[in-house]
Structure 1
């Protein structure tokens, strides 16, 4: 199995490892009051995106 095929197959795990590594290297980005403003981002934006994505996956009846 080639490298490209392996990356395509394991893209989610690779992404998780990259995000965890970035968080370890620059934790100040996600702290309370930091540039991402997690107290606002998680409370409103993340919850809204989750519900929107869930709504898009509902089957419609015609």
Structure 2
């Protein structure tokens, strides 16, 4: 049970380690022209998603004044 609690607490770091391990094991997924299409995904979709999530975190009350 303590391991599960620790994993829930450290979920972000575990995710980063898994992403790095996946990239090391299968680098062909992220190359230009690969299945993830990083030339499109990183340029447009990732930036738009970051700005969208950032906008969702804004408090709406100060924006009304």
Is TM-score (shorter-chain normalized) higher than 0.5? yes
| Structure 1 runs (4+) greater than 2 angstroms displaced | none
Runs of 5+ in structure 2 lacking a partner? none
Q: Distance in 1 between matches of 2:37 and 2:2?
A: 40
Number of residue pairs matched? 62
Q: Please, what TM-score do these two structures have when normalized by structure 2? A: 0.89
Alignment of 1:26-45 (within 5 A): 26-45=26-45
Higher share in helix: 2
Aligned to 1:18: 18
Deviation of residue 20 (structure 1)? 0.3
Q: Distance in 1 between matches of 2:36 and 2:4?
A: 32
Runs of 5+ in structure 1 lacking a partner? none
